[in-house]
Structure 1
Amino acid sequence: METHLLQRLAYPARSVSAIVHVLGLSSFSASFRYLRQVPSPMSHGFGGDFQYLTIIGLALATATFGIGFLADLTLSPWLFRIKNVFSVCSAPLEVLVSILYWGLCAINKNFGFHAMPAVMLTLDLILLSPPWTVKVYGAMSISVAVAFLYWGWLELCFTKNGWYPYPLLGLLTTWQRVVLFGFSAAMMAGSTIALKWVYGKVNGIGKFKRDA
């Protein structure tokens, strides 16, 4: 068990690290149980609840923390590195989900779906991960890939179901959808850079604050 030169706490570890990952997995599991207990009309269509970005993000957060917890149990540096790779995508995605969906709290006050994953992944990043080395162009590339892969997935579901999970998409032209998903990609890239800046600020790493 070692601590990265620029990492605040030891990881993988059977102490704080394991506690953080168990808490996160417990929250994520509770959200998935809620989906089974209170199914939506979308649940019965092609793609089910995974038509929603919120649920895709939740699944990715669960995978990230699941791998992290396995690394805690085995003290495996290899699993630790895999967790960090997942984190580069899952943490900014969950921050994006929180930004896009926080307005829904007036209707859906389920903190577990729209905030808890972002909170737990950010905590994992700041305390239990080495600093990300991804640059602005890399962050944008990842974000564009995620955004347009998701759009492609929604279009596939539309061909099977005849409807979109978000009614707004049915009102937009193709070019308007390009703008929408492009804007979402830019927001996700911005989330990546913001997380890098926060990491540098909290851990006192000037180089990474300047990169961000």
Structure 2
Amino acid sequence: MAADYARALAHRHPLQRLESPSRGSSALLHLIGLSSFAYSFSYLVLNPNPVNESYGWHLQYLTIIGLSLAALTFAVGLLADITTSPRLFAIKNGLSVASAPMECLISMLYWGLRAIDTKLVQPEWAPVLPFSVDLSFHAIPSLALVADLLFFSPPYTVAFLPALGLSGCIAFGYWFWIERCYQYNNFYPYPLFEVLDTTQRIGLFASSALLMALSTAALVWLYHVVNGKEEVSKANGHAHTPASKQRSGNVQGQ
């Protein structure tokens, strides 16, 4: 295991700010995040409403789908920390490409629509969420995933068009899912969908896909602001981290 850990250190991306996978601060972040996610899921079970008995359960909500993906990302991350497995670490980083931008999208849409009119995102029959619970569903997941990306992960390598393709698949896959749930339940999870016609829903989901892709691009930009940016040597085509972009957290000290 010590040899595996040494190899992981040797192959770590030079821009990664803090040690990960590790049983230290990386594991602590993943454990705290998972505790928050577990609290959110437990609230759904301990405070049932009509959605609990409906087709699709709370997975009709994009919030809960994003929370599930965030929990999977952090669960794999914690396992990588415990085992110091480079393979699990790579899987966690792959999941993050979808989960972090999705949670950023969820936070922006939820708080933006809520600022316009709470009734767009909360049905009249649904109990009002306590503020701490609201944060656990709609703010903490995005903050935790962004922190994991900025301080405990290598930079994203996905280009904008593939990110837009992934976002489009998620957005329109979700549209298909909620329409299926509507066939059984005769209600939509978000009141906003009730007031939109088909054309307007297409616009909403297309705009959401674009916003998620832009979130990916913004995270790439923010990562380089925080951690610096590699430059490619024209002489040999290899990437290196210039001294002016070094950060004290660079484990390789390059």
Same fold (TM over 0.5): yes
Secondary structure of 1:164's counterpart equals coil
Kindly indicate which of the two structures has a greater share of residues assigned to helix: 1
User: Whose radius of gyration is greater, 1 or 2?
Assistant: 2
Structure 1: how far apart are the matches of 2:35 and 2:196? 38
Tell whether the 8 Å contact from 1:4 to 1:10 is kept in structure 2 after alignment. no
Secondary structure of 1:91's counterpart equals helix
Q: Where do residues 100-115 of structure 1 align in structure 2 (5 Å cutoff)?
A: 100-103=109-112, 104=114, 108=129, 109=131, 110-115=134-139
What amino acid sits opposite 1:162 in the alignment? N
Secondary structure of 2:13's counterpart equals coil
Q: What displacement does 1:41 show?
A: 1.7
Aligned to 1:42: 51
Tell whether the 8 Å contact from 1:60 to 1:90 is kept in structure 2 after alignment. yes
1:121 aligns with 2:121: no
Tell whether the 8 Å contact from 1:21 to 1:68 is kept in structure 2 after alignment. yes
Tell whether the 8 Å contact from 1:57 to 1:94 is kept in structure 2 after alignment. yes
Structure 2: how far apart are the matches of 1:136 and 1:37? 41
The match for 1:23 among 15, 28, 32 is: 32
Structure 2: how far apart are the matches of 1:203 and 1:187? 24
Aligned to 1:205: 229
Q: What displacement does 1:206 show?
A: 6.1
Structure 2: how far apart are the matches of 1:206 and 1:67? 27
The match for 2:175 among 124, 147, 151 is: 151
Structure 2: how far apart are the matches of 1:167 and 1:102? 15
1:130 aligns with 2:154: yes
Aligned to 1:186: 210
Structure 2: how far apart are the matches of 1:169 and 1:53? 13
Structure 2: how far apart are the matches of 1:73 and 1:93? 26
Tell whether the 8 Å contact from 1:12 to 1:80 is kept in structure 2 after alignment. yes
Structure 2: how far apart are the matches of 1:111 and 1:170? 25
RMSD of aligned alpha carbons: 1.5
Structure 2: how far apart are the matches of 1:31 and 1:162? 26
Higher relative contact order (CA 8 A, sep 6+): 2
What amino acid sits opposite 2:165 in the alignment? S
Q: Which runs of 5+ in 1 are unaligned?
A: 208-212
Aligned to 1:210: none
Q: How many residues align?
A: 207
Secondary structure of 1:71's counterpart equals helix
The match for 2:164 among 123, 134, 140 is: 140
Q: What displacement does 1:9 show?
A: 1.3
Q: Which runs of 5+ in 2 are unaligned?
A: 119-127, 232-254
Tell whether the 8 Å contact from 2:59 to 2:65 is kept in structure 1 after alignment. yes
* TM-score between both structures, scaled by the size of structure 1: 0.93
Structure 2: how far apart are the matches of 1:40 and 1:197? 41
Tell whether the 8 Å contact from 2:107 to 2:142 is kept in structure 1 after alignment. yes
Aligned to 1:93: 102
Q: What displacement does 1:173 show?
A: 2.1
CA gap 1:15/1:42 in 2 versus in 1, 3 angstroms: same
Identity across aligned pairs (percent)?
50
- C-alpha offsets along residues 146-168 of structure 1, whole Å, 9 cap, x if unaligned? 00000011011011112211233
Aligned to 2:16: 7
Q: What displacement does 1:12 show?
A: 0.8
The match for 1:60 among 69, 77, 87 is: 69
Q: What displacement does 1:28 show?
A: 0.5
What amino acid sits opposite 1:4 in the alignment? H
Aligned to 1:75: 84
Q: What displacement does 1:39 show?
A: 1.6
* TM-score between both structures, scaled by the size of structure 2: 0.78
